[in-house]
Amino acid sequence: MTNFDKDANAKKRRIFRIVGFILLGIGAVFTILFFISFFSAFGDFDSGDSIFKDAWMPFVGFPLMAIGGVFLKFGYMGSLFKYFAEETVPTAAKSANYILNETKDNIKDILGTNDKNKKQRVCPKCGALNEIEDKYCFDCGAKLKD
Ligand SMILES: [Zn+2]
Residue 126, pLDDT > 90, answer yes
| CA 132 / ligand 1 centre spacing (Å) | 13
The string of pLDDT tens digits covering residues 35-89 is 887 777 666 656 555 666 677 777 888 888 898 888 888 888 777 667 667 766 6
Q: What is the pLDDT of residues 1-25, one digit of tens each?
A: 455 566 777 788 888 889 989 998 9
How far is the centre of ligand 1, averaged over its atoms, from the C-alpha of 102 (Å)? 29
Q: State the residue range of the domain holding 91.
A: 3-113
In terms of Cβ atoms closer than 10 Å to its own Cβ (0-12, 13-18, 19+), residue 37 is middle
Domain co-membership, 73 together with 101:
yes
Same domain, 60 and 128: no
Q: How far is the CA of 139 from the centre of ligand 1 (A)?
A: 5
Query: Could you tell me the distance, in angstroms and rounded to a whole number, from the CA of residue 126 to the centre of ligand 1?
Result: 4
Q: Write out the H or E segment, with its range, that includes residue 96.
A: helix 56-111
Residue 87 contacts residue 95 (beta carbons within 8 Å) = no
pTM above 0.75, yes or no: no
What separation in Å is there between the alpha carbon of 107 and the centre of ligand 1? 25
128 CA from centroid of ligand 1 (Å)? 5
- Tell me, in angstroms, the distance from the centre of ligand 1 to residue 142's CA: 5
Residues 32, 84 within the same domain: yes
Ligand 1 center to 129 CA (angstroms): 8
Cα angle 113, 116, 120; round to 5 = 95
Q: How many Å apart are CA 28 and CA 20, to the nearest integer?
A: 12
- The sign of the torsion formed by the CA atoms of 98, 102, 104, 105 equals positive
Indicate whether 97 and 135 sit together in one domain. no
Judge if 8 and 74 occupy the same domain. Answer: yes
